[in-house]
């Protein structure tokens, strides 16, 4: 690794020196991986894993560094080892295909007695990643302000960075994204004259779609890069959209419809109550809310809610994926809102991510001219493949949720 790359990636440039932890990691990994239909191959010809010759291959290039990273921090070290090139896929093996069997066994691959020790090894979210008003801005900037040009290389022309909803195997990504957006707007009953608040502007696709329905649209973001891009798109599209560079906690007014696509994951558990209470306060009587939220099973949310992982360190600082139960509980305890309908798009997200990754790989020669190095490439590949594997197996899901005020007792016929 060059000196410049070492300065940019200090945690990747040198493997930690933790020989005892490395030996422990090795001792735990071997029996665990021998239950998984994959092959771990080493340069000396040794092979671990339950997979045959046609199973996905994980090729361990630098065993000493690999086990050192795994021993130092299992949840972060595995991804860091891929970023560093300590392990890679074998010839003919797709990264998501390799990660899928691990994702399918996420809850069981570590023996139950050792799972009880996770409280001693899990790291908590760093204080600087808390999603306070100031912290949220820094967290959003860390990902979404990377480069509009970067995202343009792998997203569809609408620049939509969330799960699509495919109508058929033949439908292209852009059309599937418009189908997803239309479903959100339909669920929120957006039409001519509707006062719409969008929490999380993205690059403006949903706001344009809503404005073209005749709605009066206010959209908010914390990303200055996204805001500049979206404003140009609004002008080019000839739509009147009020874009504000503010935090959701700073919004005032009253809205007939509130929409938010894959924003709750960036809110942080500490602020879920504030997020939904703000929506409750801003929603007009009889109004509708539609959000799209990545979720995980409740038992996995409980197991991971107090830990700090690779995705939080390198991709989405301050992020936490909720469960449907956690959303329902927060709404019940802190708002007058309730979920009235839900639609799963999990398998559609797996396809969306695969198309993004294919686009990213095909565009890498262009992307690297923007100043992104090989470590960044491997980081982004791991991120997209890791998420794809999660949605393929159902470890992760994504829902479109329709939310409205709970009926008053009179509405239910009680008095």
Q: Would you name the residues annotated as active-site residues?
A: 387
Q: What is the largest CA-CA distance in the chain?
A: 78
Q: Are 217 and 202 in contact (CB under 8 A)?
A: no
Q: Which of 95, 104, 92, 111 is nearest to 37 (CA)?
A: 104
Q: What is the CA radius of gyration of the chain?
A: 22
Q: Rounded CA gap, 271 and 321, in Å?
A: 13
H or E stretch covering 41: strand 39-42
Burial classification of residue 157, based on how many CB atoms lie within 10 Å of its CB (0-12 exposed, 13-18 middle, 19 or more buried): exposed
H or E stretch covering 280: helix 272-282
CA angle, 340 as apex, 262 and 208 as ends, to 5°? Answer: 45
Taking the alpha carbons at both ends of the chain, their separation in whole angstroms is 73
Residues 6+ apart with CB under 8 A from 254: 195, 282, 283, 284
Q: Are 48 and 34 in contact (CB under 8 A)?
A: yes
Q: Are 350 and 391 in contact (CB under 8 A)?
A: yes
């Amino acid at each position: 690794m060059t000196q410049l790359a070492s300065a940019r990636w200090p945690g990747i440039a040198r493997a930690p020196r933790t020989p005892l932890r490395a030996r422990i990691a090795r001792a735990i990994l071997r029996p665990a991986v021998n239950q998984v239909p994959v092959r771990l191959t080493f340069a000396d010809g040794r092979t671990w894993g339950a997979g045959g010759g046609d199973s996905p291959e994980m090729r361990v290039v630098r065993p000493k560094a690999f086990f050192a990273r795994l021993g130092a921090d299992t949840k972060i070290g595995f991804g860091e080892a891929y970023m560093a090139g300590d392990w890679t896929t074998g010839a003919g093996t797709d990264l998501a295909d390799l990660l899928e069997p691990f994702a399918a066994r996420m809850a069981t691959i570590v023996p139950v007695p050792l799972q009880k020790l996770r409280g001693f090894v899990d790291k908590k979210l760093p204080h600087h990643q808390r999603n306070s008003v100031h912290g949220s801005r820094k967290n959003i900037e860390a990902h979404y302000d990377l480069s509009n040009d970067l995202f343009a290389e792998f997203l569809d022309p609408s620049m939509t960075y969330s799960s699509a909803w495919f109508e058929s195997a033949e439908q292209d990504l852009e059309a599937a994204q418009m189908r997803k957006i239309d479903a959100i707007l339909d669920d929120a009953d957006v039409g001519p004259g509707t006062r719409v608040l969008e929490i999380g502007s993205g690059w403006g696709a949903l706001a344009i779609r809503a404005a073209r329905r005749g709605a009066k649209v206010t959209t908010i973001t914390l990303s200055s890069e996204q805001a500049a891009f979206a404003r140009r798109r609004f002008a080019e599209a000839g739509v009147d959209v009020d874009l504000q560079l503010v935090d959701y906690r700073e919004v005032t007014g009253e809205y007939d419809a509130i929409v938010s696509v894959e924003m709750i994951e960036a809110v942080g558990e500490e602020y879920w109550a504030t997020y939904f209470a703000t929506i409750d306060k801003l929603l007009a009587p009889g109004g509708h809310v539609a959000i799209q939220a990545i979720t995980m099973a409740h038992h996995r949310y409980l197991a991971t809610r107090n830990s700090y992982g690779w995705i939080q360190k390198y991709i989405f600082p301050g992020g936490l994926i909720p469960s449907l139960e956690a959303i329902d509980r927060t709404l019940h305890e802190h708002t007058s809102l309730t979920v009235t309908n839900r639609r799963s798009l999990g398998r559609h997200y797996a396809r969306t991510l695969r198309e993004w990754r294919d686009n990213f790989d095909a565009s890498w020669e262009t992307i690297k001219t923007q100043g992104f190095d090989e470590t960044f490439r491997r980081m982004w590949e791991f991120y997209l493949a890791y998420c794809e594997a999660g949605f393929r197996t159902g470890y992760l899901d994504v829902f479109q949720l329709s939310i409205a005020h709970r009926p008053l007792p009179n509405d239910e016929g009680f008095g």
